[in-house]
Amino acid sequence: MSVSTAIRWRTVGAFFLGACLVVPSLQAVAVVMDIDAVFEPDSAKPQKNEFINQTPSEGFCRQVPQACEPFGLFSLVTPIPFVANAPILANHTDPRQGGMARVPSEWREVRVTHESGDSKVLSIRIGGIGHESLLPRPVTEITNGGWWDELWEGGRWVYAPAPCQGVGRGTASGVGYNSFWRVPAGAGVCSKKALFDIPMSFKYQYFVFAYELRTPDPLNMLAGKYTGAINYTVGPHQDFDMGDVMIPADNQLTLNFSLDVRHTLKVEIPPGGTRVELVPEGGWQAWLTQGRKPSRLFRNQTFTVASSSRFKMHLECQYTQDGDNCSLREPVSGHVVPLNVSVTLPTGLTDATGRPVHRQPLRRDGSGSELFVPGLYVDRKPGSLHFEIPASEVAEMIRPERQRQYSGSVTVIWDSDV
């Protein structure tokens, strides 16, 4: 007797991050930037189930990656200039009247939604801020022969004021200074006091921000793209706040997110494994030599599975007798017997309740096998399909006076469309 099994599966998705700049006019129209990330399981790192940022860093983190990578930071250049609306006066007592920055360094949640309606939450915080500043006159004139160290209390802008943190890098010319500060989570205002009057119109030609992401668990996400957005305000007392003197040319910044989930679901049956012969424990020898009827007919068929996605399983049958089980048929007599099919999955795959999957019955309607979940990326690990004739049916199948052969086709379906 034989049972043939066929396997069908559907694969699933991944996560992205990319950036595009929209050059603003002097009118308040939002600057929009895209951040794309992708998840694609890596057999070389099955324990690392994380999205990979696909958006190239711009500005500081591209130029000095060693100052950003250990902190999980990426940077983008925002084409929003700031221009002073008044002189910055020497020894001002209000931080808002000098060189300052306050950014949304706390974690904020962004809901991203799949085309199916499924949604997850990612978190973002701003972890760094930088400027390309431009003086209206050479710094030597403003400081009476001094340099940038003399212009600001505490030295030039490479020396970050607390709670911000310096990174030891900055570039300077006679009228321009490029600097960057890391910003700890939940930090407030970071400010520098001018020691000389800075005339109008002092400006920041653009600003660079660094961001840190916390992305959802891709193993609990559907294949395909999840999208969402967060809106920031720019200007005095807004999310990106450079004080009361430095006024932005644009007051809105929008970050669009696209998370692309590219799951793997691949099942491999060894050569010859699609033809399954059910045999007694120890083979047919006891029946042939001693006439002892077997109590059970069964076969365990191994397979390997690579999976980063949720999936379900069910059966399609050539013959059915009743209910949701498949059957085998003897063509001469027309006698039909039920066939029990079950599955054991490798470690790392569980049922919906988190329990290991051991001899879980498979049925035509999929009941009981509606959801299997990876706790980690399972890469070509072995599992088993179990085929067995109920013991109560075996005696009727095996009769000394006649030869019978039962057969039928069973299709086992691994389906990632859940």
pLDDT given at position 403: 77
Radius of gyration of the chain (CA): 33
pLDDT given at position 19: 26
pLDDT given at position 135: 97
Neighbours of 278 (CB within 10 A): 20
The 10s digit of each residue's pLDDT in 22-77 is 333 334 568 999 999 999 998 888 788 899 999 999 999 999 999 999 999 999 99
Domains and CATH numbers, the chain: 31-261 (no CATH), 265-415 (2.60.40)
Sign of the CA dihedral running 308, 312, 318, 319: positive
Q: Which amino acid is at 133?
A: S
CA separation for the pair 64, 388 (Å, rounded)? 63
Annotate 149-192 with DSSP letters as a single string.
Answer: HHHBTTSSTTSPPTTSEEEEEEEE-SSEEEEEEE--TT---EEE
Which tokens sit at 261?
Answer: 């989930």
Annotate 289-305 with DSSP letters as a single string.
Answer: HH-PPPS-EEEEEEEEE
CA distances from 3 to 277, 329, 359, 384, 408 (A): 6, 10, 18, 15, 5
CA separation for the pair 278, 274 (Å, rounded)? 13
CA dihedral of residues 325, 328, 332, 335 (deg, nearest 10): -40
Give pLDDT < 70 ranges for the chain. 1-29, 282-283, 285-292, 400-401
pTM: 0.82
The 10s digit of each residue's pLDDT in 293-344 is 777 899 999 999 999 999 999 999 999 987 889 999 999 889 999 999 999 9
pLDDT given at position 17: 24
pLDDT given at position 44: 80
Q: Which amino acid is at 345?
A: L
pLDDT given at position 333: 87
